[in-house]
Amino acid sequence: MVQLQYLRETDVSAIPRRTEPFGVAVYSPWALAPDDPDIILVRGNAKQLMLLSEAARAAGIGDAGELMGRPTCAMIPATLQSGRFTTSLGCIGNRIYTALADDEFYAAVPWPKINDVFHQLPVFVDANRELEAYHRQRAASLSSTS
């Protein structure tokens, strides 16, 4: 990656990583997970992850405003270390192996806060539905008066 100039040598030390020994990773649908996970990974489009981000902020674990890029896997230790909602655009390797669509990206939610986030989610879904209707009507009225 350094030879391709995809990463600079100085970038490597800034990539979030685990500091303790690694045990086991299980990637599975939540309902099929053999145990409680450390992190829930969510894959979605910008609107879906915007709503999840708003719910995470209301649950007290809003992200730091950074949308991570490469490597996608760094979002896992970043979330574990910060205990906060994390987003990643996904890197090309991840996109190839997971068939992540061009209009999708990821969010990671720390397991201890997942119920708080899901409790807040309907509030933001409903509010955005109402606000969308209001703004569509307002935009239509503004364009008809021009």
Is residue 8 a part of any domain in this protein?
no
Is residue 5 a part of any domain in this protein?
no
| Residue, of 73 and 11, whose pLDDT is higher | 73
Is residue 19 a part of any domain in this protein?
no
pTM to 2 decimal places: 0.83
Answer whether 87's CB lies under 8 Å from 67's CB: yes
Is residue 136 a part of any domain in this protein?
yes
In the three-class reduction of DSSP (H, G, I as helix; E, B as strand; rest coil), residue 65 is classed as coil
Segment 44-99, tens digit of pLDDT: 999 999 999 999 999 999 976 778 888 888 899 999 999 999 999 999 999 999 99
Which domain does 74 fall in, by range? Answer: 36-144
Long-range contacts, stretch 47-52, CB < 8 angstroms, 24+ apart: 49/87, 49/105, 49/106, 49/107, 51/121, 51/124, 51/125, 51/128, 52/85, 52/107, 52/109, 52/117, 52/121
Segment 31-40, tens digit of pLDDT: 898 888 899 9
Structure-block tokens of residue 113: 């806060």
Is residue 18 a part of any domain in this protein?
no
**How would you class 112 by CB atoms within 10 Å of its CB: exposed for 0-12, middle for 13-18, buried for 19 or more?**
exposed
For residue 29, what pLDDT band results from cuts at 50, 70 and 90? confident
Is residue 40 a part of any domain in this protein?
yes
- The residue type found at 36 is D
Q: pLDDT exceeding 90 applies to what percent of the chain? A: 59
- How many structural domains does the chain have? 1
Is residue 117 a part of any domain in this protein?
yes
Is residue 21 a part of any domain in this protein?
no
What are φ and ψ of residue 63, in 5° steps?
-70, 170
Confidence (pLDDT) at 95: 93
